[in-house]
Amino acid sequence: MPTNFLHTPIDYLNGVGPARAKLLKAELGISTYGDLANLFPNRYIDKTKYYKINELVPDSAHVQIIGKVTHIKTMGDGRSSRLVATFIDGTGSMELVWFKGQKYFKDNLKLNVPYVIYGKVSKYGSKYNVAHPDVELLKDHRSRQQSAMTPIYPSTEQLTKRNVTNKMMVRMMQQLFSEVQHSFTETLSDQIRSQHQLVDKNTAMYNAHFPKSAALLQQSIYRLKFEELFFIQMELLLQNRIRKTRIKGYSFEKVGKYFNDFYSNHLPFELTGAQKRVVKEIRADMGTGAHMNRLLQGDVGSGKTIVAVLTCLLAIDNGYQACIMAPTEILAQQHYQGVSELLENTGLKVSLLTGSVKTKARRIIHSDLEDGTLNILIGTHALIEDKVRFKNLGVAIVDEQHRFGVAQRAKLWKKNDLPPHVLVMTATPIPRTLAMSLYGDLDISVIDELPPGRKEIKTVHRYDKNRLGVFSFLKEEISKGRQVYMVYPLIEESETLDYKDLMDGYESVVREFPAPQYQVSIVHGRMKPEDKDYEMERFVKGETQIMVATTVIEVGVNVPNASVMVIESAERFGLSQLHQLRGRVGRGADQSFCILITSYKLSTEAKTRIETMVATTDGFEIAEVDLKLRGPGDMMGTRQSGVLALRVADIVKDNDILAVARNTAIELLQKDATLALPEHESIKKVLQFLQSKKGLWKYIS
C-alpha cells in the first residue's frame, strides 16, 4: 500500500539480515516490510487455554501447560537415543521428549524455573508425554505480544531446512508490528466502512496476525477480504468505463432489411426468451457509438449460433462485414455449414477460410473481402494473417475465446481504423463469481434456456461389471436408427493405470458389434488429419453406427442422430470435460442418454463429479461444483492465474463478499465517476498506486 514504511527493504528488519532476506525473497516473494505485513497466516492455533496435567486425556491433541522441569536425562543409544525431561505442575508429572536437538535442550533447559510448554499429548503406559514441545520461559511468554491465537504462516521445504520456523516467522512479524503498528494508511472511505461495519485498517492488520479475540479476527479478515476484492472490482469497472468512453466503435443504428427479413421469414424456430434478451443487449451496445466488448455465455446446445448470425446481420444492414473465428478447423467448418444453411435464401455471401483452403480459393476470398462482396468470413486463426484485409469489418465474433492468445485477438481488432465490435462466445459456463473477476471489464450476456423441443439428456452411472447391460441398451438404440459415441481417456495401455484404453475398447466393441450388421469408426489424436476427417465424415453421414474416440470429439462434432454418449473410465475426466462430452448428444428431437462407466474404486472427488453429472444438466450448476472441487487456479488456464493470486481472499469461498464489493464499487462510481470527491481521495490514491505497479493488472482482457 502507498505508506512509505512498507517500501523499506526487509533486510533492515531486526533479526532478518541479508542472507535471510534473500531466502525470504526466493521462497515467499518477500522483499519489503509491506510484503511481510501482507503475508497472512494460513490458520491459527488457539492458545487461550492452559491445561493441568491431571486434566489430560489420551490423544487430547495440542495442549498448553505451565510447569517446571525437575530432571533431565539421556536414554537409549545411537538411533534410539532420546532426551527425556520430567515436567511437573503441582497436579502431576509427565515427560517431555526430544529425538533431535538434544544437546541444545540439555544445555539450555533450566531446572525448577516456570516454563510454558505446548505440543501434542501421547500416553505410554501410565505416563503422558509430549514429543518436541514448544518451550518458552513463562516470563518471556507473558512479556511478548500476546494474542488469543497463534498464527501459522505459509512455509516451504527450503525455509524449514534453513531453520526459518513458524516461531521465527512470528518473531519477525512481532518485530515488524512493534516498529510500524498504527502506521497503516486507511484505504477505504468512512462511508464505505460505516455502510458495511468494517473495522479500520490498523485494527484489521494487527488482528489478522495477532488476534485479540475470535470475533476481532473474523471482523479483521472480512475487512481485508472486502478491501482486496473491492479494489480488483474498481479496477475492472474503471477499465470498462474507459473503454466505453474513450474507445469509439461503429454506430449501428439501423435494423434493416437483412435482419428483419431473416427474423420474419427464415428463422427456423421461435427464439427463447433468453436469446431475445441477449439480441436486445447486443443491439443496444452496437447502437451507442461506443465499442462493444461483450461475453456471451451459453451452455452446450443453447443456441449461441443464431445470436451470432443476427449480430452479423446487424453489421451488414449498416454497410459492414462480419467475421466468426473458431479455434479448430472442425468447429470453423461446423459454424460455416450452420451459418450457410441459415442464410442460403438471403442472397448474402458467406465463405470459409482455414489452413487447408487451397491457394486459388484463398485469392478469391481475399479479393471478395477487399471489395466488400463477401459479407461474412468464418475461419480459424487464418483470419488474422496479414494478407486477410477487410473492406470494413464491423463485428468480430470469437468462439471459445480462451483458446486464443491475446496477441492473436489483437491482430483481428487491428484490421480497421476503428476496432470492430467484439462478441466473445463460450460454451464453458463460468460461475458468476469467476466471471466477475475474469471478465469484469466485459459486459456479460447469458443464454440460460435451451431451445424449445430439446429434451433433457438422461444421465446414468454404471460400473464396469454392468458393461454387457450397457451394450444391450446400445443395440436397442441402434435398432431404432440412432448412433452412439464411446469415449475413452487413453490411447495406449498404461502399465501404471488400470483403465480401459482406446484400442482395447475398440476391439471389444467390434467383437460385440460385428460387421456387416454394425459399422464402427475410430478417431483419436494420433491419426493423420485426412484419416480422422474420413472417419468423422462416415459417422456424420450415418455410414457407421458407433464412433469409438478419445476427447477429440469434445468440441466441434454435430450429429443430431447420435443419441447415446458412453464415457468409459468416467472418473478420469474433469467435470467440465464430462459436460462438454455429454453436449455432443441431445441435438435432435429424440431422447438422448449419457452413460458414465467407472470402476468401483472412486475417490471422494470422483464420486462428487459423477453424482453431479447424474443430478443436473445445468452447466452453471456444474461449473460451481467444478470451481469448488478444483479451485479457481486451473479452471481457465493461465489467463486467470493473475486474477486469483490473492493475498487473503478466496474467490470460491468468498463469493458473497465479492458480490458485496462489486456492488459497492458500482454504487461509488455512479456517484463519483472520477473519484473527485474529498472522501474518495484514499481510494483514488490506492488505485493510482496499483496502476503504477506494472503487470499487476495484466489479467484484464
Q: What is the pLDDT of residue 556?
A: 54
Q: In 10 A of CB 257, how many CB atoms?
A: 12
Dig out the grid coordinates for 447 from the structure: 443464454
* Assigned fold of 257-286+303-426: Rossmann fold (3.40.50)
Are 94 and 63 in contact, with CB atoms under 8 Å apart? no
Does residue 655 surpass a pLDDT of 50? Answer: yes
Q: Give the position of cell 476503428.
A: 418
How high is the mean pLDDT of the chain? 85
- Report how far residue 599's alpha carbon sits from residue 597's, in angstroms, rounded to the nearest whole number: 7
Closest CA to 112 of 83, 143, 84, 90: 90
Q: What is the pLDDT of residue 554?
A: 53
pLDDT band (50, 70, 90) for residue 413: low
Tell whether pTM > 0.75.
no
| Dihedral of the alpha carbons of 508, 512, 513, 517, in degrees to the nearest 10 | 140
Q: Indicate the CATH number for domain 4-45+154-180.
A: 1.10.150
Residue that wins the pLDDT comparison between 108 and 45: 108
CA dihedral for 95, 101, 106, 107, sign (positive or negative): negative
Helix, strand or coil, per DSSP, at residue 160:
helix
What Rg, from alpha-carbon coordinates, does the chain have? Answer: 32
Q: Which residues contact 414 (CB under 8 A, 6 or more apart)?
A: none
Q: What is the pLDDT of residue 638?
A: 35
- Report how far residue 556's alpha carbon sits from residue 543's, in angstroms, rounded to the nearest whole number: 19
Q: Hey, do 257-286+303-426 and 458-616 end up sharing a CATH topology, with the first three levels equal?
A: yes
Closest CA to 172 of 140, 212, 209: 209
pLDDT band (50, 70, 90) for residue 60: low
Does residue 694 surpass a pLDDT of 60? Answer: no
Q: What is the pLDDT of residues 258-285, one digit of tens each?
A: 999 999 998 888 899 999 999 999 999 8
Q: Does domain 49-147 have CATH number 2.40.50.140?
A: yes
User: Within a 13 Å sphere around the CA of 179, how many CA atoms are in the beta-carbon half?
Assistant: 18
- Report how far residue 681's alpha carbon sits from residue 179's, in angstroms, rounded to the nearest whole number: 26
Q: Would you kindly state where each structural domain of the chain is located, as residue ranges? A: 4-45+154-180, 49-147, 257-286+303-426, 458-616
Closest CA to 459 of 620, 622, 301, 617: 617
Dig out the grid coordinates for 493 from the structure: 495401455
CA 50 to chain centre: 43
Long-range Cβ pairs for the range 528-536 (8 Å, 24+): 536/330
- Report how far residue 93's alpha carbon sits from residue 67's, in angstroms, rounded to the nearest whole number: 9
Q: Give the position of cell 491465537.
A: 149
β pairing state of 43-46 and 149-152: antiparallel
Q: Which CATH superfamily is domain 458-616 in?
A: P-loop containing nucleotide triphosphate hydrolases (3.40.50.300)
Q: What is the pLDDT of residues 528-576, one digit of tens each?
A: 878 888 888 899 889 999 999 887 665 556 788 999 999 999 998 888 8
Quick one: what percent of the chain has pLDDT higher than 70?
88
